Amino acid sequence: MNLKSKHKIESAFSMSSMTDVIFLLLIFFMLTSSFITPSGLPVNLPSSKTSTIVMQKVSVTITPDLKYYVNDRRVVKSRLEDELAKEFEGKEGVVVLHIDKSVPTEYLVEVAGIATSMNAKVSIATKPNN
């Protein structure tokens, strides 16, 4: 008496579709993580109702003790315009200002004026209101 079934059921699991999904997720996270480039300097940003993420080309940071940084590189205030001009060579001028909220507004306006005199778009980094 032969009780074996004529139709064999294969118990193997195909991993090809799962590896495709993992690969697509990996690509998605790699692409989206490059859009956000936070400044590495500790600055207490002011808050606003809306805070949008801007692709930053050049980051200018002013710390509470009035030290200037261009892309995390310390710069003397008198050389700020030259450093920005060097950063804009052959690139679109987009400046994101990371300015501590305790810094007087005149410093913000001065840096924004330098950037706009070079036909750069200026945006101010803020943290969202909670």
Mind listing the pLDDT tens digit of every residue in the chain (130 residues)?
566 667 777 777 677 788 888 888 988 888 777 655 555 566 656 665 655 554 557 888 888 898 899 888 899 988 888 888 888 776 767 888 888 888 888 988 898 888 888 888 888 887 777 6
In a domain, 66, yes or no: yes
State how far the Cα of 106 lies from the Cα of 24, in Å rounded to an integer.
47
Give me the number of domains the chain comprises: 1
Residue 126: per-residue pLDDT = 75
CA distance 62 to 101: 10
Give backbone dihedrals phi and psi of 30, rounded to 5 degrees, phi first.
-65, -40
Q: What is the CATH number of the domain that holds 61?
A: 3.30.420
Residue 38 lies in a domain: no
Domain of residue 123, residue span? 47-128
Residue 52 within a domain: yes
Q: How far apart are CA 22 and CA 19, in angstroms?
A: 5
Bridge-based pairing of strands 94-99 and 121-124 is parallel
Does residue 22 fall inside a structural domain?
no
Q: Could you write out the DSSP letters of every residue in 5-74?
A: -SSPPP-----HHHHHHHHHHHHHHHHHHTT-----S-----EES-------SEEEEE-TT--EEETTEE
Residue 70, in any domain of the structure: yes
In a domain, residue 62? The reply is yes
CA distances from 71 to 5, 17, 36, 91, 112 (A): 71, 42, 14, 15, 16
